[in-house]
Structure 1
Amino acid sequence: MHLPPSATSRTLRVGIVGCGRISRNHLEAFAGLDGARVVGVCDVDPARAQATAEAWDVEHAVDSVPALLALGLDVVSVCTPHPTHEAVVLESAAAGVHVLCEKPVAVDMAAAERMTAACDSAGVELGVLFQRRFWPAAQRVRAAIDDGSLGTPVLGHVSVLLHRDPGYYAQDAWRGTWESDGGGVLMTQAIHYIDLLQWYMGEVAEVYGAINTFKHGEHIDVEDSAAAVIKFTSGAMATLAASTAASPALGVQIRITGSTGATAELSEFPEGSDGRVTLMAADGTVRSSPAHPADAAPDVDLSTINAALVPHHTSQIRDFVEALARHDAPAVTGRTATTSLRILLAVYEAARTGEPVRFAPFPPGVPVAPSDVTARAAAQPASR
């Protein structure tokens, strides 16, 4: 891994691209860390960049990525709308600067591959924000897989039932369109939990999926709801249901059952709160706590969600900074993030074609429905 010579002898110089809402999380995270300092912010709106710099006591405010890179940076944090990530990452890599990018890494696989290849070629690290991996509870579930308590994951389920109102889509013009957002609930919200699912369950073999817009059709042209069946190369299976049309919201539950028969459930309610292990069933005992505490307000606005995630942004950004100091890869790399992107894009593709998307072959011994059974099922009348 390339580390700029200056970074080995002094505090890392950090620039932030994009001064929208999520930039606050990056600014707070870096402010709370030793070994890194934000020296510049960048936004296409110069007034917003200047206001951010003044609010956070940052020395430089600029309106272009080249101007930001000219400040002699070691790290760039990317906080811009999804489809613009690629351009910022490619410019940063060409300048020999490490990149920490908000999720999703990109909105299509070709862009994601170009980004990871550029960073590999330049010898710089590309990290992507999936801060929920840093919940202590998420780490606890991963540990139960690693130490054999759950065994090999065989069944998974992800439920993402969130609330968004029209104001959420109206507050930023880029939200809710294929062109500027890249997708709906899958791309913007559920990707966090797809990341956790594949972290727990491993390499994907096949994806079936469907999408629809049940509630927000007057305000968006992307999906507000999606469902999928995901099969893994191990033979494991998982289901996914995601929506921003729930009212009230029910938050997120991720349930993993392993080959030992044990089950763990990870819950986030209300959205943005710390994940909790709300169920652990093993050795004939079920230990549980409410997934939906009665005293918690279910519907939470975006600023509250983002503020609650600051400690986990800080944990992941600390991991990134410490990885650079060790000349090592961060916990979540660009290639890791590309895996999650590929899964959700496969849901879109399966929804478009009505056919499953195959990633990799199933291992020997995994039962797969023969083609004649599949054909007979497809030929059945819609009603009986």
Structure 2
Amino acid sequence: MSDIKVGIIGIGHMGKTYALQLDKGLVEGAVLTAVCGRTKQLEDLKMQVKGNVQSYQDEAVFFQESGIDAVIIATPHFSHPELAKKAFAKGIHVLVEKPAGVYSKHVMEMNQSARESGKVFSIMLNQRTNPLYQKLREMIQTGELGAIKRTNWIITDWYRPQSYYDLSKWRATWKGEGGGVLLNQAPHQLDLWQWVTGLKPKRVHGFCHYGKYHDIEVEDDVTAYVEYENGATGVFIASTGEAPGTDRFEIAGDRGKLVVENNELTFFKLAQSEREFNATYKGGFGMPEYERIDIPVESDNPGHLGIIQNWINSILQGTPLLAPGEDGLQSVEIANAIYLSSWMNETVEFPVDADLYYEKLQEKMR
């Protein structure tokens, strides 16, 4: 089968990176065919690519005339669902940057278009290619940890100075980005939080602080508390205003605790079930014995290239997707729930009413 002709819409930092990777032949079975962006972006890219790449500024002409088989969408957040729907309508396969969108109502419309088109739809959740998180997920799914009791992710190493937010007027605004650290920096962690555990929240209470550390209108500091169907609880903390930051993910279960920190996976393995120990131990003070096991993990993480290659392989060979596009809804839904809870100052049921969230977001944008 001939190579897949790939187009890219949005030639900012990530879009340009993908274009150069494709132009260098780093993705087997794919050829960069066309790009769509602003004049200055296109001129800069033209100086760096070697292949014969068509350039467009009008998205309608890009989709109609470029002859591409597949498109990578790397534009600002709000436009992801609408552009994906246009691509599906033209019979084009889609890989969309994270987040899938800003609000779940829009993302659900995109997912429906994807299903109706029958095209291969993926999302750039590139941490799913990380062997560390793949191993973590495997240990949970196979039952080594036992029933999950608690999850706790502190991800505060997203530090950003004020100058970062001052680069563009659309940054850190409700109208431009639709959110702050939850929607811009932490979608990968929001996705992994659910993907590795297999748990979705039942109830959510979010505490968002808007412009706490920066002169911005969206949140730069978040603490969220969730309750799961099985009785487990979880906490998610994210910030762009702490230095030095922390990235530590703990998952406590009946058989011990798994910890991810400093790119290492550690299993504190109990000698017996905690519930069994609790029910049978007669010594007053005491706790189950455990051993610390440093879990070996492969160092090679293909990251963004891995997701693109997997998407192309799925188009050409039917390879299962590591990050199906429909999965992008999960992190958007939980971000929406945290925001809505914070705005209303109350615990919300998950998933939240998509129409209600859209209405409240419009108020913020106004």
> Shorter-chain TM-score: which interval?
0.7 to 0.9
Task: Write the distance in 1 (CA, Å) between the matches of 2:55 and 2:301.
Answer: 23
Aligned to 2:46, which of 50, 53, 60? 53
- Give 3-state SS (helix, strand or coil) of 2:322's partner: coil
Conservation of the 8 A alpha-carbon contact between 2:129 and 2:322: no
Aligned match of 2:132: 137
Task: Write the distance in 2 (CA, Å) between the matches of 1:214 and 1:60.
Answer: 42
Aligned match of 2:202: 205
- Give 3-state SS (helix, strand or coil) of 1:181's partner: coil
Aligned match of 1:244: 240
Counterpart check, 1:277 vs 2:251: no
Gap change, CA 1:236 and 1:53, over 3 Å in 2: farther
Task: Write the distance in 2 (CA, Å) between the matches of 1:57 and 1:215.
Answer: 46
* C-alpha distance after superposition, 1:107-131 (max 9, x if no partner): 0111101111111111112211111
Conservation of the 8 A alpha-carbon contact between 1:99 and 1:126: yes
Number of aligned residues: 322
* C-alpha distance after superposition, 1:185-220 (max 9, x if no partner): 1111122111111112222211111100354442x1
- Give 3-state SS (helix, strand or coil) of 2:168's partner: coil
Aligned match of 1:38: 32
1:56 is matched by which residue type in structure 2?
V
Aligned to 2:292, which of 286, 291, 299? 286
Aligned to 2:315, which of 314, 321, 324? 324
Task: Write the distance in 1 (CA, Å) between the matches of 2:49 and 2:147.
Answer: 46
Task: Write the distance in 2 (CA, Å) between the matches of 1:329 and 1:111.
Answer: 25
Conservation of the 8 A alpha-carbon contact between 1:10 and 1:35: yes
TM-score, normalised with respect to structure 2: 0.83
Single out whichever of 84-93 and 27-36 deviates more from structure 2.
27-36
TM-score, normalised with respect to structure 1: 0.79
Conservation of the 8 A alpha-carbon contact between 1:206 and 1:356: yes
Aligned match of 1:67: 61
Gap change, CA 1:329 and 1:279, over 3 Å in 2: closer
* C-alpha distance after superposition, 1:60-84 (max 9, x if no partner): 1111222222211111101111011
Aligned match of 1:90: 85
1:319 is matched by which residue type in structure 2?
N
**Where do 5+ consecutive residues of structure 2 fail to align?**
271-289, 352-366
1:131 is matched by which residue type in structure 2?
N
2:332 is matched by which residue type in structure 1?
L
Aligned to 1:227, which of 208, 223, 226? 223
Aligned to 1:20, which of 12, 16, 24? 12
2:350 is matched by which residue type in structure 1?
F
Task: Write the distance in 2 (CA, Å) between the matches of 1:15 and 1:285.
Answer: 51
Aligned match of 1:125: 120
CA displacement at 1:318 relative to structure 2: 1.3
Conservation of the 8 A alpha-carbon contact between 1:29 and 1:310: no
- Give 3-state SS (helix, strand or coil) of 1:179's partner: coil
Gap change, CA 1:106 and 1:67, over 3 Å in 2: same
1:18 is matched by which residue type in structure 2?
G
- Give 3-state SS (helix, strand or coil) of 1:32's partner: coil
Conservation of the 8 A alpha-carbon contact between 2:211 and 2:218: no
Task: Write the distance in 2 (CA, Å) between the matches of 1:56 and 1:198.
Answer: 38
Task: Write the distance in 2 (CA, Å) between the matches of 1:277 and 1:236.
Answer: 24
Task: Write the distance in 2 (CA, Å) between the matches of 1:247 and 1:180.
Answer: 26
Task: Write the distance in 2 (CA, Å) between the matches of 1:264 and 1:194.
Answer: 18
CA displacement at 1:89 relative to structure 2: 0.8
Task: Write the distance in 1 (CA, Å) between the matches of 2:349 and 2:302.
Answer: 37
What is the aligned-residue RMSD (CA, Å)? 2.0
Conservation of the 8 A alpha-carbon contact between 1:208 and 1:355: yes
Superposition pairs of residues 329-368 of structure 1, within 5 angstroms: 329-359=320-350
Gap change, CA 1:56 and 1:215, over 3 Å in 2: farther
Superposition pairs of residues 303-314 of structure 1, within 5 angstroms: 311-314=302-305
Conservation of the 8 A alpha-carbon contact between 1:264 and 1:277: no
Identity %: 25
2:170 is matched by which residue type in structure 1?
W
Aligned match of 1:376: none
Conservation of the 8 A alpha-carbon contact between 1:207 and 1:346: yes
Aligned match of 2:287: none
Aligned match of 1:379: none
CA displacement at 1:278 relative to structure 2: 4.2
